[in-house]
Amino acid sequence: MEVTQSDLHAAAAAYQEFGYVCLPKFFSQTMLDKIEPVVRAFHDRWLEDNHAFYKSHAVNSSGLTADTYLNKAERQTLFTLIGCDSMTKLASALLRRPVYMNSQLFFDPYNPHQKNYWHRDGQYHLSIEEQQAALHGPDVIHVRIPLADEPGLELVPKSHKQWDSEQALDVRLERNGRSKSDSIPGSVALPLKRGDVLAFSANMLHRGLYGNQRFALDILFCEPEMHSFLNDVHQPCAEIRATLECLAVFP
């Protein structure tokens, strides 16, 4: 879709207030038809190396743009999407000087009874105090690109800036008899169709909704203060950079 200035203003306002924004029919099916075979090739090759992890509990992989599983032509296809005009405009509307950070792929667990889990992305490497401070610090966004219609994500609106209720904290930390898959009051479920895009803050309270053989590519962008988290292996090489229409989101 051709993204307009008014779409971008509305997206920025929604993102600032709620911590997420859904843009229906953001990518054409033709664009996704070019991306999907590359993402499926990555997944097949990743599965060969990670079969035990997949069968035990995996729901995602990462590092699609590194050269571990994809060749240069395949990576170039992904970078064309990541750096395209509409993606650059969207990321620039939501973040100050967005920089491409990494990519992840979300799929259904092997065990259909495996439960999902509420979390904030930072909770696995930050203390509670650091997680609270992160709500006022530089931001990271996920831009979710579903390659199949999916149940989507469940989010707690405004939690990108607001700390957890007692109940939400008990759920995501599994305290006081709560489980991380329990429901949290005030959440919203956002089912997505192939072509839609969901941008949301990594800081916010969220969980994946499994089912329908979901297959979603998440592109992560950060603000400049987070440059120390960037790793060159995920960035385009000089040869690929020379082919891209716009380099604005690459460091």
Ligand X SMILES: O=C(O)CCC(=O)C(=O)O
Residue 106 as a binder of ligand X (CB under 6 A): the answer is: yes
Closer by beta carbon to ligand X, 206 or else 234 = 206
Q: Could you tell me how many residues of this chain bind ligand X (CB under 6 A)?
A: 8
Instruction: Tell the smallest beta-carbon distance from residue 217 to ligand X (Å).
Output: 11
Radius of gyration of the chain (CA): 18
Residue 23 as a binder of ligand X (CB under 6 A): the answer is: no
Residue 142 as a binder of ligand X (CB under 6 A): the answer is: yes
Show contacts with ligand X in window 152-211 (CB under 6 A). 153, 206, 208
- Rounded CA-CA distance 242/251 in Å is 14
Closer by beta carbon to ligand X, 204 or else 240 = 204
Closer by beta carbon to ligand X, 132 or else 181 = 181
Is residue 24 helix, strand or coil? coil
Closer by beta carbon to ligand X, 214 or else 240 = 214
Residue 149 as a binder of ligand X (CB under 6 A): the answer is: no
Closer by beta carbon to ligand X, 62 or else 77 = 62
Which residue sits closest to ligand X, CB atoms considered? Answer: 208
Yes or no: say if 104 and 43 are a contact pair by the CB < 8 Å rule.
no
Instruction: Tell the smallest beta-carbon distance from residue 18 to ligand X (Å).
Output: 16
Vertex 158, ends 249 and 143: CA angle to 5°? 30
Instruction: Tell the smallest beta-carbon distance from residue 118 to ligand X (Å).
Output: 9
Show contacts with ligand X in window 42-81 (CB under 6 A). 59
Q: Which two tokens stand for residue 240?
A: 């690929």
Q: How far is CA 200 from the centre of its chain?
A: 7
Helix (H) or strand (E) holding 191: strand 188-192
Residue 120 as a binder of ligand X (CB under 6 A): the answer is: no
- Rounded CA-CA distance 172/184 in Å is 9
- HSE toward the beta carbon, residue 135, CA cutoff 13 A: 17
- Rounded CA-CA distance 236/195 in Å is 24
Is residue 114 helix, strand or coil? coil
Instruction: Tell the smallest beta-carbon distance from residue 190 to ligand X (Å).
Output: 11
Residue 121 as a binder of ligand X (CB under 6 A): the answer is: yes
Yes or no: say if 54 and 110 are a contact pair by the CB < 8 Å rule.
yes
Q: Which residues bind ligand X (CB under 6 A)?
A: 59, 106, 121, 142, 153, 206, 208, 218
